Structure 1
Amino acid sequence: MNKVIKDTPRARGYFVTGTDTGVGKTLVASALVHLHAARGLRSAGMKPVASGASFDGERWRNDDADALSAASNLALPPALVNPFLFRSATAPHLAAREEGKHISIDHLERCYRDICAAAEVVIVEGAGGFLVPLDDDHNSDALAARLRLPAIMVVGIRLGCINHALLTQLAIRAKSLPLAGWVANHIDADEPYAQAMVESLTRRIDAPLLGELPWMDATDAGRAAQLLDAAALGLPAVH
Structure 2
Amino acid sequence: MSIYFVAGIDTDAGKSFATGLMAKYLHSKGVDVVTQKFAQTGCKGISEDIQTHRNLMGIDLMDVDRDGTTCPFVFDYPASPHLAAEMQNKTIDLEKIEHSTKTLNDKFELVLLEGVGGLNVPITLDYSLLDYLEEKRYPTILVSSSKLGSINHTLLSLEILQKRNIPLHGLIYNHFPADSEFILKDSVKVFEHYLNKMNFDCPIVEIPVIENFESARVDFSKFF
Fold match (TM-score > 0.5): yes
Distance 1:158 1:89, change over 3 A: same
Q: From 89, 94, 99, give the equivalent of 1:110.
A: 99
Secondary structure (helix, strand or coil) at the match of 1:233 reads coil
- 1:210 maps to which residue? 204
Deviation at 1:14, TM superposition (A): 1.1
Q: 1:42 aligns with which of 23, 32, 38?
A: 32
Alpha-carbon distance, 1:143 to partner: 2.5
Q: What is the CA distance between 1:207 and its match in structure 2?
A: 4.2
Report the equivalent of 1:89: 78
Paired position in structure 2 for 1:128: 117
Distance 1:161 1:137 in 2: 27
Conserved 8 A contact 1:151-1:178: yes
Q: What whole-Å deviation, never above 9, does each CA across 1:14-58 have from its counterpart, x for those lacking one?
A: 10001101111001111111122222221000002010114xxxx
Are the structure 2 counterparts of residues 147 and 66 from structure 1 closer, same or farther at C-alpha, using a change threshold of 3 Å?
farther
Aligned mate of 1:13, from 3, 7, 24 = 3
Q: Is the 8 A contact 1:31 1:222 kept in 2?
A: no
Contact 2:5 2:140 in 1 (8 A): yes
Provide the alpha-carbon RMSD of the alignment.
Answer: 2.0
- Aligned partner of 1:80 among 55, 59, 69: 69
Taking the aligned partners of 2:69 and 2:185, their CA distance within structure 1 comes to 39
Q: Structure 2 CA distance, aligned partners of 1:107 and 1:33?
A: 23
- Determine if contact 1:53/1:62 at 8 Å carries over to the other structure: yes
Counterpart in the other structure of 1:63: 48
DSSP 3-state at the match of 1:169: helix
**Does residue 28 of structure 1 match 2:13?**
no
Aligned length: 215
Asked if 1:183 is matched to 2:172, the reply is yes
Percent identity between the aligned chains?
25
| Paired residue type of 1:65 | I
TM-aligned CA distance change 1:65 to 1:112, over 3 Å:
same
Q: 1:184–1:212: 8 Å Cα contact kept in structure 2? A: yes
**1:164 lines up with 2:141 in the alignment:** no
Deviation at 1:75, TM superposition (A): 4.2
| Deviation (angstroms), 1:175 | 2.9
- 1:195 matched to 2:185? The reply is yes
- Amino acid paired to 2:208: P
Query: SS of 2:50's equivalent?
Result: helix
- CA distance in 2: counterparts of 1:99 and 1:15, whole angstroms: 27
What SS does structure 1 have at the residue aligned with 2:78?
A: coil
Moved more, 165-174 or 104-113: 165-174
Q: Is the 8 A contact 1:27 1:221 kept in 2?
A: no
Distance change in 2, residues 1:147/1:213 (3 Å)? same
Matched with 2:223 is 233
